[in-house]
Amino acid sequence: MKSVPLQQQTFSELRQSCPALFDFFAGQQLAVPAEELRLETYLAQLSTSPAQAAQIAALNAYVAALQSLQGDRFRLTALHISGGRDKNGQAEALDLQLVPGEVICLVGPTGSGKSRFLADIEWMAQGDTPTGRRLLVNGQSPDPAWRFSPEHKLVAQLSQNMNFVMDLSVAEFVRLHAESRLLPDAEQKVAQVIAQANALAGEGFSGETAVTALSGGQSRALMVADTALLSQSPIVLIDEIENAGIDRRRALKLLVREEKIVLMATHDPILALMGSQRLVFRQGGVAQVLQTSRAEQEQLAALEAYDQRWLNWRNRIRSGARLEQLDSETDPYLDGF
């Protein structure tokens, strides 16, 4: 949906669509103009006295920055990755074109180069990383300045290690993030992120919970929901989701829903088969690209049934029960977890 440029909105509309603009007026100790006045009319009415010139220039720059953050964002239509070399210096036969909506899984032994591949994407490698890989964004070499530009922030990364050091509640933390994205409906987004995070985490938490009091699984669930609902980056990189203590399939579905390219290092067979293709790493290079076959997709239901049984046994151990029989059909612990 194309948004109305900020300049053409009245101050009453801006209050909803761009609350951050009012921070400028507060910061500059300026009186907020009449509600029905359009921003462009207000700007035109300001006198051009030297005393006001600096303020007008600052306001114009502020509005331009807000507009670029809010406006019609850069759209990623294709990400192209061409091979470099593996750890032995052998050329990597890789010519990969990815489009939004795809999930690509990275598999391979420890040290085989999965994290390095994700790092190449995060850094938008241009032959300037140890692998020599190159990326094209919408068919072109990305401008190096994009690596730091909020408007072109292409990549959101979910890492396994989450440590909060801030003295904030969950709601305050998510609100800060939503406000920094200049979202008009920040409060609604905060509620959605917390609700989704609770749906992913084993143990619930509220908006009042301190972020430092969250467990590893709860923090991870919060970051997944936050990335899915607040991040506008079209590429999501995930380094291992399996040990997170969260509903990982639901997490993946939430992340994919927003039409992103998701690249995920995983050895979880269910997640691997949920991807459209998987890259097999050896010695720092992509040795094979496997498309998920129809026969593999047909195994998903069986794998999920195994997984459910496994989850059941885990929950029995977790709740202090004994595992003297493994019959999940009649198991009272199967439901409710």
Ligand X SMILES: Nc1ncnc2c1ncn2[C@@H]1O[C@H](COP(=O)(O)OP(=O)(O)OP(=O)(O)O)[C@@H](O)[C@H]1O
Nearer to ligand X, 100 or 130 (CB): 130
Helix, strand and coil in the chain, % to nearest 5: 45, 15, 40
Alpha helix (H) residue ranges in 102-185: 114-122, 170-180
Nearer to ligand X, 108 or 217 (CB): 108
CB 138 within 8 A of CB 77: yes
Q: Applying CB under 6 A, does 157 fall inside the site for ligand X? A: no
Q: Applying CB under 6 A, does 110 fall inside the site for ligand X? A: yes
- What angle (nearest 5°) sits at the alpha carbon of residue 258, between those of residues 252 and 264? 35
Which of these, 198, 203, 206, lies nearest to 224 by C-alpha position?
198
> CA 283 to CA 88: how far, in whole Å?
7
> CA 136 to CA 152: how far, in whole Å?
14
Q: Applying CB under 6 A, does 278 fall inside the site for ligand X? A: no
Q: Applying CB under 6 A, does 87 fall inside the site for ligand X? A: yes
> CA 243 to CA 260: how far, in whole Å?
23
Q: Applying CB under 6 A, does 220 fall inside the site for ligand X? A: no
Among 116, 220, 278, 316, binds ligand X (CB under 6 A): 116
Among 7, 17, 115, 292, binds ligand X (CB under 6 A): 115
Q: Applying CB under 6 A, does 108 fall inside the site for ligand X? A: yes
Q: Is the dihedral of CA 206, 208, 213, 214 positive or negative?
A: positive
Among 252, 284, 287, 316, binds ligand X (CB under 6 A): 284
Give the range of 144-152, 164-172, 220-228, 277-285 binding ligand X by CB under 6 A. 277-285
Q: Applying CB under 6 A, does 113 fall inside the site for ligand X? A: yes
Q: Applying CB under 6 A, does 234 fall inside the site for ligand X? A: no
Residue in the shown chain whose Cβ atom is closest to ligand X: 284
Among 211, 285, 286, 316, binds ligand X (CB under 6 A): 285
Binding site for ligand X (CB under 6 A): 85-87, 108, 110-116, 130-131, 281, 284-285
